[in-house]
Chains A and B, each alone.
Chain A
Amino acid sequence: SQQGEEDPQALSIQEGENATMNCSYKTSINNLQWYRQNSGRGLVHLILIRSNEREKHSGRLRVTLDTSKKSSSLLITASRAADTASYFCATASGSARQLTFGSGTQLTVLP
């Protein structure tokens, strides 16, 4: 069963705008991660936030985590055409040896 569910399923914005994607999950977690997948390629790890953290930054990425609501958001600021990809959240729980992925958000950044 899928732990994370992303919202929206698809998002289209203009270059320079900010993009926000949300992820909800069902059970308690050790950490939550975001991955990017370009068309026809493998997944690339973007950022990890632990269950005791509320916000984390990495370059143009900002991730928040609300464990009381079992939700996370990924914000990409000043988007570029190269940010066009699918974005997946993944949760790690228990022994943290398995990741459970959501269904992804397809982001399109128009030049």
Chain B
Amino acid sequence: NAGVTQTPKFQVLKTGQSMTLQCAQDMNHEYMSWYRQDPGMGLRLIHYSVGAGITDQGEVPNGYNVSRSTTEDFPLRLLSAAPSQTSVYFCASSPLDRQETQYFGPGTRLLVL
């Protein structure tokens, strides 16, 4: 199994541009989530999903959209990038019956100029 994969690894955007961060998992996990990690801080939850067609907001959802059309994929969209969205983004997944233990992807480093 590849586990949780994220693309791209690194991206530079200009303010106002849009982009989609990709996340995929091949473990048939129902639960998927997106976090952002800023320097000196822990991870903060952006959005999460407990299954295909179901998404919900986390702690810091503003400026981000998600969708979950399949069990495997959980893309994160930035509609109009802002410098405050410069961060490292992590996707994670877990099975619903053991959803406390999450499996993380390698991260996407995003720089918004």
Is B40 a contact of A99 with CB atoms below 8 Å? no
Sorting the interface of chain A by its residue count into under 10, 10 to 19, 20 to 34 or 35 or more gives 20 to 34
A-side contacts of B4, CB under 8 Å: 42
The answer to whether A42 touches B41, judged by C-beta atoms less than 8 angstroms apart, is no
Q: Choose, from A58-66, A68-76, A90-98, the stretch at the interface.
A: A90-98
Q: Bound complex: CA of A41 vs CA of B107, how far in Å?
A: 7
Interface flag for A82 (CB, 8 Å): no
Given A41-B107, A97-B31, A97-B50, verify A2-B100 contact (CB < 8 Å). Answer: no
A interface footprint on B34-66 (CB within 8 Å = 1, 0 otherwise):
010000111111001010000000110000000
Which residues of B are interface residues toward A (Cβ below 8 A)?
4, 31, 33, 35, 40-45, 48, 50, 58-59, 90, 92, 99-107
- Number of A-B residue pairs with CB-CB distance less than 8 Å in the complex they form: 62
User: In the complex, are the beta carbons of A4 and B100 less than 8 A apart?
Assistant: no
Determine the distance from Cα of A96 to Cα of B31 in the docked complex, in whole angstroms: 12
Cα distance A97–B94 in the bound complex, in angstroms:
10
List residues of chain A with CB under 8 Å of any chain B CB. Answer: 1-2, 4, 30-31, 33, 35, 40-45, 48, 88, 90, 92, 96-104
Pick the residue among A1, A43, A48, A103 that contacts B100 (CB under 8 A): A48
Q: Please state if B48 and A97 are interface contacts (CB–CB under 8 Å).
A: yes
Query: Is the pair A104, B104 in contact by a Cβ cutoff of 8 Å?
Result: no
Q: How far is the CA of A88 from the CA of B100 in the complex (A)?
A: 15
CB atoms of A92 and B100 under 8 A apart: yes
Pick the contact of B45: A4, A30, A96, A98 (CB < 8 A). Answer: A98
Q: CB within 8 A of B104: which of A1, A44, A102? A: A44
Contact A103 B40 (CB under 8 A): yes
Residues of A within 8 A of B106 (CB): 41-42
Closest to B4 in A: A42
Nearest-neighbor residue (CB-CB) of A1 within chain B:
B59
Alpha-carbon distance A44/B35, docked complex (angstroms): 14
Q: Contacting A103 at CB < 8 Å: which of B42, B104, B107?
A: B42
Q: Which residues of B contact A96 (CB under 8 A)?
A: 99-100
